[in-house]
Amino acid sequence: MALDALDISTIAPTEALKSEARALSERAEGLAAGDILKLAFEHFGTGLALVSSFGADSAVLLHMVSEIDKTLPVVFIDTGKLFGETLRHRDALVERLGLTNVRSVKPQPKRLEEVDPDGTLWFRNTDACCGVRKVEPLSFALSEFDAWITGRKRHQAVTRANLALFEADGEKIKVNPLAGWTSRDVEAYRLAHDLPAHPLVAEGYKSIGCMPCTDRVADGEDERAGRWRGQAKTECGIHLGLAGREANGSGI
Ligand code: SF4
């Protein structure tokens, strides 16, 4: 299969979905993050999932969710290129928080055989690599849900400065209860609840993704400056509109 066939086409949200997201954002304005989550639980019911990278800040949102419902589906994309520290951090947090529905999703072996048989696609084409290792598996994993919770924050990068609390993206609504949080807020919450830190934070990593595409971040840089350093790429594609398998016709 040609690499360009890996492009995950985006679907523009319908006006109805955008309106639903706007209305929810208005209701959520001024609420604490935990109350925004409760609003999302009430509104979406079993159509809601949390997507977590089990990265630098993930413990906060996972803890908040565990306080509401430990059975909420938590989707974790194991790209096959993650740091071992992230996998161990995931296991420690799952045990500590008593989460009972964590779904570790991997790229489909057949697709990897087709497009990344030697595991070096990241070196030649990061968009295609993120497509097969992140976007496609997440698209499958979320196909049964109407909405998903993310840990994104406005301060993380200029590209996230206008992040809404609820946003229509593709065919789903994304919930961003920590949109207005700063790094200090996150650290204060983590300490207040005695949550474990991702071990790589102490080594200068502020945003942690796959090993080949994550670098340390210097003081004064955006938190995400170490992701795909030296490239124009700023997002892996999962926040650019999930089309789903039926729509993108990739046939996986
Ligand atoms: S972050 Fe890098 S290694 Fe991970 S899926 Fe994307 S390109 Fe591949």
Residue 213 lies inside a defined structural domain of this protein: no
CB of 208 shorter than 6 A to ligand 1: no
CA distance 179 to 177: 6
pLDDT at residue 223 greater than cutoff 50: yes
Q: Which atom of ligand 1 is nearest to the CA of 126?
A: 7
Residue 210 lies inside a defined structural domain of this protein: no
Q: Which atom of ligand 1 is nearest to the CA of 121?
A: 8
Residue 216 lies inside a defined structural domain of this protein: no
CB of 212 shorter than 6 A to ligand 1: yes
Residue 60 lies inside a defined structural domain of this protein: yes
Q: Give catalytic residue positions.
A: 236
Closest residue by CA, ligand 1 atom 4: 210
Confidence at residue 246, expressed as pLDDT on a 0 to 100 scale = 30
CB of 135 shorter than 6 A to ligand 1: no
Residue 234 lies inside a defined structural domain of this protein: no
3-7, 200-204, 231-235: which has the minimum mean pLDDT? Answer: 3-7
CB of 148 shorter than 6 A to ligand 1: no
Confidence at residue 3, expressed as pLDDT on a 0 to 100 scale = 37
Confidence at residue 237, expressed as pLDDT on a 0 to 100 scale = 63
Residue 230 lies inside a defined structural domain of this protein: no
Ligand 1: distance of its center to the CA of 67 in Å?
32
Burial per residue of 17-32, b for 16 or more beta-carbon CB atoms within 10 angstroms, e otherwise: beebbeebbeebeeee
CB of 122 shorter than 6 A to ligand 1: yes
Nearest alpha-carbon partner for 82 in 228, 233, 210, 214: 210
Nearest alpha-carbon partner for 182 in 190, 170, 171: 190
Q: How confident is the model at residue 189 (pLDDT cuts 50, 70, 90)?
A: very high
The more confidently predicted of residues 9 and 50 is: 50
Q: How confident is the model at residue 245 (pLDDT cuts 50, 70, 90)?
A: very low
The more confidently predicted of residues 244 and 225 is: 225
Q: How confident is the model at residue 16 (pLDDT cuts 50, 70, 90)?
A: very high
Confidence at residue 216, expressed as pLDDT on a 0 to 100 scale = 79
In one-letter notation, the amino acid at residue 92 is: A
Mean pLDDT in the chain?
87
How many domains does the chain contain in total?
Answer: 1
Confidence at residue 232, expressed as pLDDT on a 0 to 100 scale = 65
Q: Which domain holds residue 38?
A: 3-204+239-246
Confidence at residue 100, expressed as pLDDT on a 0 to 100 scale = 98
CB distance 132 to 238 below 8 Å = no
Confidence at residue 6, expressed as pLDDT on a 0 to 100 scale = 39
CATH of the domain at 20: 3.40.50.620
pLDDT at residue 184 greater than cutoff 90: yes
pLDDT at residue 36 greater than cutoff 60: yes
Closest residue by CA, ligand 1 atom 6: 130
Ligand 1: distance of its center to the CA of 230 in Å?
14
Residue 220 lies inside a defined structural domain of this protein: no
Residue 228 lies inside a defined structural domain of this protein: no
CB of 210 shorter than 6 A to ligand 1: yes
